[in-house]
Amino acid sequence: MAPIAKALFQPSPRLSLRRASVADLEAMLEIALAALPMDPQWDYRFPHRRAYPSDTRKYTRMRYREFLEDQNERWVVMLAEHRPAQDSREPVAFAVWEIKNIRKQKTVQIQLEKNLNVLHRPPFRQRRRDGDCKRMQAWTDTTSASKKLLFDSQFGASHFQLQILATHPEFQRRGAGGQLVGWGIQLAQCLNMAISVFASPMGERLYLRLGFVSVASVFVNVEKELESVVLAAMVYVPSGSSRPSSRKDAPMATEMSLIRLVRLPIQTRSAQGSFQGPASGAKTRENLDDIGGACPA
């Protein structure tokens, strides 16, 4: 373990971690609705959330329930609790990890089913009113293509992904986010696997302190629109691994990925490896990413 990372997620006597359950759904929802609007991509994807707050709450709850009720063990949700008193605990942050690649690690202690199918969602016939359908689709298409090009092509099944990290604003900068990411880092070190994440500007600073490196800037936007959001594609690689684990090596991974861009409907944006995903495209099985909802047929 790198000393800098170890120091940053030392357990706090007033914070504890545990795996979340369906009983924690409402607490997670309140944390998310308080924290995630601070991320620029939230307003980008859901520009009408203030006019339709019930839709934001409804579809966020539906998606988080899927994470918690996942029968295939594709997802692990970890919860950080604040303990102001000995017999009192208050959920203050959570992290959603996609762990489907861990099934190939024989030493893992998490019991995974042998057949991990794609998570099927019930069909949505009602279009959510708080979101911009084209932007939501662009987000899904771009992050999906970027994951394949920047992470899957470099690490294969030897990486797992941090999907969501949210800390209630009243408890930010108090160690909860660092401990949740530290849980994943310790798992990565145990299994000699990398961690991938698409980071917001706020999250990027935390991940850099914990030993992650940036490998590309990912631009999400809709064709003919000026507005966009930029994500930092980042990886954490355990010490001693032969894979790129420093800023000096990171551009090599990006350049290797960009060679394949000509085979996909993605356009390069800069020589440093920043690129823009397709503005629109066919609806995917996991349409509209992590919040649910639907585009009109």
How do residues 273-285 score in pLDDT, each as one tens digit?
333 332 223 333 3
Task: Compute the average pLDDT of residues 232-258.
Answer: 59
Backbone torsions φ then ψ of 47, nearest 5 degrees: -70, -15
Two structure tokens written together for 283: 């609806």
* Mean of per-residue pLDDT scores for the chain: 77
pLDDT for res 73: 85
297/292 Cα distance (integer angstroms): 15
pTM: 0.77
Domain spanning 3-110+129-269: which CATH class is it, in words?
A: alpha beta
pLDDT for res 180: 97
Q: What are the pLDDT digits (tens) for 181-210?
A: 999 999 999 999 999 999 998 899 999 999
83/286 Cα distance (integer angstroms): 37
Q: Of 77-86, 248-257, 264-273, where does the model show the most confidence?
A: 77-86
pLDDT for res 258: 33
DSSP string, the chain: --HHHHHHTPPPTTEEEEE--GGGHHHHHHHHHHHGGGSHHHHHH-TTTTT-HHHHHHHHHHHHHHHHH-TT--EEEEEEEEEEETTEEEEEEEEEEE-GGGGG-TT--S---S--PPPP-PPP-S--SSS-HHHHHHHHHHHHHHIIIIIIHHHTTSEEEEEEEEE-GGGTTTTHHHHHHHHHHHHHHHHT-EEEEEE-HHHHHHHHHTT-EEEEEEEE--TT-S--EEEEEEEE--TT-SS--STTTHHHHHHHHHGGGGGTT-EE--TTS-EE--SS-PPPTTTTTTS------
Residue 233's pLDDT band (cuts 50, 70, 90): very high
| Residue 199 neighbours by CB under 8 Å, 6+ apart | 207, 212, 214, 231, 232, 233, 234
Two structure tokens written together for 95: 């992290």
Report yes or no: 273 and 255 within 8 Å, Cβ to Cβ: yes
Pairing between β-strand 88-98 and β-strand 159-167 as defined by DSSP bridges: antiparallel
Confidence check: pLDDT of 243 > 50: yes
250/1 Cα distance (integer angstroms): 20
Q: What are the pLDDT digits (tens) for 136-172?
A: 999 999 999 999 999 999 999 999 999 999 999 999 9
